[in-house]
Amino acid sequence: MPSPNLHPMLNVAVKAARAAGAIINRAALDVEAVRISQKQVNDFVTEVDHASEAVIIETLLGAYPKHAIWAEESGKQHGNQGSDHIWIIDPLDGTTNFIHGFPVYCVSIALQVRGKMEQAVIYDPSRNDLFTATRGRGAYMNDRRLRVSKRIDLRQCLISTGFPFRPGDNFNNYLRMMADVMQRTAGLRRPGAAALDLAYVAAGFTDGFFETGLSPWDVAAGSLLVQEAGGLVGNFTGESDFLEHKECVAGSPKIYSQLVGIIGKYSKFATAGEKAEVRQQATLVAPDMTPSAALDNAPGEEDEGHAQR
């Protein structure tokens, strides 16, 4: 039943997310029967991803046939790609969790209008948790208004992240970054679905989040949730125009600034001096490595990471 308090476009997105969630929940009853294919090592896609995406696109274009679609599995094949209204969709964020029966995954739908996120829905079908946001109207979980955590001391904070998992990912660099954050916090968590991680920052369940290799559909909806809950989101150096940068950090304003201060030097947008500092640390941490191996493991433009889980 549509909510009279929601923006009409957000209502349509909620309808699409719930329809996708019903498909995911049915499949979760017999996950062993789900057909799985592999895009590359450790990067999976299932028939559920495709079915979820199809029902979302059908619902959105049924209501707004002139809008554009940018979806994880089908890319920019659907809708009117010249439109200034673009729906950015991840039909199942946390696919690897899903195929193992690990119940941390979600549907993510965002509407970008003339370059700005205007509507956001993240739906967790296993818990029936619905996160929504409209620019300027706040963020909600079910019917509860969300605010980011009030903690200001990083040592008391729970931070979520995602680990590199593909061949070619910069594992050693990520381990150094993780160690830098871990020793300054109350705990680090890796749930496995970036969109849900961002929703949890908005809800105050975690105090911050950082990850590399993320694609626009991983972070589009979650970024608006965080902002509408009073938080900040950007790339590792603190730039707010981060959607296609493949790195994301989020948190309450004070925790966000502390995280940027710690992990900014690991950004591919870091200054040459900051990158040199990381290279020097790499040599000190791993003196048995050759200089060329240490350089290979310093941050660089080649870092891609985990667009699809």
Specify whether 99 is located in the same domain as 186.
Answer: no
* Phi/psi at 28 (5° precision): -65, -20
SS3 label, residue 212: strand
Specify whether 128 is located in the same domain as 181.
Answer: no
Specify whether 160 is located in the same domain as 141.
Answer: no
What is the domain range of residue 159? 154-296
Domain with residue 36: its CATH number is: 3.30.540.10
Specify whether 46 is located in the same domain as 160.
Answer: no
* Higher per-residue confidence, 236 vs 290: 236
Return mean pLDDT, the chain: 88
Per-residue pLDDT band at 12 (split at 50, 70, 90): very high
Last residue in a domain, options 145, 175, 209: 145
Specify whether 209 is located in the same domain as 262.
Answer: yes
Q: Read off the pLDDT of residues 61-79 as tens digits, 9 standing for 90 and up.
A: 999 999 999 999 999 999 9
- In this structure, is residue 306 part of a structural domain? no
Q: Read off the pLDDT of residues 248-301 as tens digits, 9 standing for 90 and up.
A: 999 999 999 999 999 999 998 877 666 667 666 666 554 444 333 443 444 443
pLDDT at 157 over 90: yes
Strand 106-113 to 116-124 pairing: antiparallel
Element (H, E) at 86: strand 85-93
Last residue in a domain, options 145, 171, 195: 145
Specify whether 121 is located in the same domain as 183.
Answer: no
Domain with residue 161: its CATH number is: 3.40.190.80
What was the pLDDT predicted at 308? Answer: 41
Specify whether 135 is located in the same domain as 268.
Answer: no
Structural domains counted in the chain? 2
- In this structure, is residue 305 part of a structural domain? no
pLDDT at 198 over 60: yes
73-81: which pairs have CB atoms within 8 A and are 24 or more residues apart? 73/45, 73/49
CA distance 31 to 48: 10
Specify whether 31 is located in the same domain as 85.
Answer: yes
Binding residues: 72, 90, 92-93, 218
Mean pLDDT in residue range 180-205: 97
Binding residues for Mg(2+): 72, 90, 92-93, 218
What was the pLDDT predicted at 79? Answer: 96
Q: Read off the pLDDT of residues 96-126 as tens digits, 9 standing for 90 and up.
A: 999 999 999 999 999 999 999 999 999 999 9
- In this structure, is residue 304 part of a structural domain? no
- In this structure, is residue 36 part of a structural domain? yes
- In this structure, is residue 303 part of a structural domain? no
- In this structure, is residue 2 part of a structural domain? no
Specify whether 14 is located in the same domain as 129.
Answer: yes
pLDDT at 305 over 50: no
* Phi/psi at 134 (5° precision): -125, 135
Q: Are 214 and 247 in contact (CB under 8 A)?
A: yes
Specify whether 290 is located in the same domain as 192.
Answer: yes
Q: Read off the pLDDT of residues 79-100 as tens digits, 9 standing for 90 and up.
A: 999 999 999 999 999 999 999 9
Last residue in a domain, options 145, 164, 189: 145
Specify whether 45 is located in the same domain as 176.
Answer: no
Specify whether 205 is located in the same domain as 268.
Answer: yes
